[in-house]
Structures are given as structure tokens and as C-alpha cells.
Amino acid sequence: MRLNINDRTVEVLLSEETLRQRVAELGAQLSVDYAGKDLVMLVVLKGSMLFAADLCRHITAPLSMEFMGLSSYGDSTETSGEVQVTLDLTKPVKHRDVLIVEDIVDTGLTMRYLLKNLAAREPASLKVCTLLEKPERKRVEVPLDYVGFVIPDHFVIGYGLDLDQKFRNLPFIGRVV
């Protein structure tokens, strides 16, 4: 389906219902995997905020939330390859079970940086839950423990993902055509 939004044609790739169903499935699996653990859901800002908000409501295990801001894109649609921390954790994660919640992993460069950064903080465990994976763009291998969807190499918007800081509020994931 194609829609005209703010003078742009957007093709819907993942509908609101498809997202809702998969997020519920991920939350159910995480509830089992983290039962009885000291879970810290580490939300990577800004793109993961909607995914994380919906996901945490489906996790029955007790959890706390931390946030990190990372940037490797700036206002571009291509990664610069250099990762900048724009917001760091407010609490230590030493000896805690950390689940990174990310919107999308494509080249793997940002995730590799984040995994190294967090491993140095000595968590009890460190896993990754990403809503989207783009294997065609992968430059480095990184472990992805939970993947919502594998998508083709399209620049996507909606459900937290942006183009020039816009379109994050779309309830679906689409691509500008």
C-alpha cells in the first residue's frame, strides 16, 4: 500500500498490526528468558523509543530502563561510520543482565561500538533485541539475539525511525519511494 504523507509517497512495508503481533511475540520470549533475572532494558535513542515502549509492556519479568543516545548518521541516510555518544547511562550496569533494544541494525558498526562500550562496564549478560535487521548492508558481524524482522536494503521510516527527524510518529514502517 502506498500513501501520500507530507508530499512524499510512502510504501508500507510492515503494518501496524504486523508490528503489534511481532512485538508481543518478542515480549513473551523475553519474559521467559529473563524470568528471575535483574533485567536492564537499555533503549537506544531516539529510534527505538516506540519499539521499546511497546515491548516493555509485553515483558512480565521485572525490569528497569536505561537510555543511551548514539549517532552515526546525523541528518544523512548513510552512516558516517563514526559513532558518537549523545547521551550516556545514568546508572551502572555492572553485574546486571542488559538487553540492548535497538530499532535497526544494518552495517553493524554502531552495534559493535555499543557492545564493546557496554562489555567494559561488566554486565552479568549482554544481549541485543533489534526490531529490524538489514543483512545486505552488514559490514561487521554482531550477535543479534532477538530479531523482529529481516528487511531488504531500503531506507525505512516510521515507528520511531526518521528521515531528518520526521516521520517517527507513523504507526507503521515504510519506505519513501
Cell of 176: 519513501
79-86 contacts, C-beta under 8 A, 24 or more apart: 79/106, 79/107, 79/109, 79/110, 81/107, 81/109, 83/109, 83/110, 83/113, 83/114, 85/117, 86/45
Q: How high is the pLDDT of residue 146?
A: 98
Return the residue matching grid coordinates 511497546. Answer: 54
Structural domain boundaries in the chain:
16-153
Q: Model-level pTM?
A: 0.92
Residues annotated as catalytic are 106
Phi, then psi, of 93 in degrees rounded to 5: -115, 10
* Per-residue pLDDT reduced to its tens digit, 84-133: 899 999 999 999 999 999 999 999 999 999 999 999 999 999 999 999 99
Q: Read off the pLDDT of residues 136-159 as tens digits, 9 standing for 90 and up.
A: 999 999 999 999 999 999 999 999
Q: At a CB cut-off of 8 Å and minimum separation 6, what does 94 contact?
A: 121, 122, 123
- Pick from 45, 82, 84, 35: which is nearest to 67 by CA? 45
> In the structure grid, which three cell numbers stand for residue 132, read together?
529490524
Q: Is a pLDDT exceeding 80 seen at residue 81?
A: no
More confident position, 1 or 15: 15
**CATH code for residues 16-153:** 3.40.50.2020
Measure the CA angle with vertex 78, ends 15 and 18; round to 5°: 10
Coil, helix or strand at residue 77:
coil
CB-CB neighbours of 141 under 10 Å = 9
Q: What pLDDT band is residue 177 in, cutting at 50, 70 and 90? A: confident
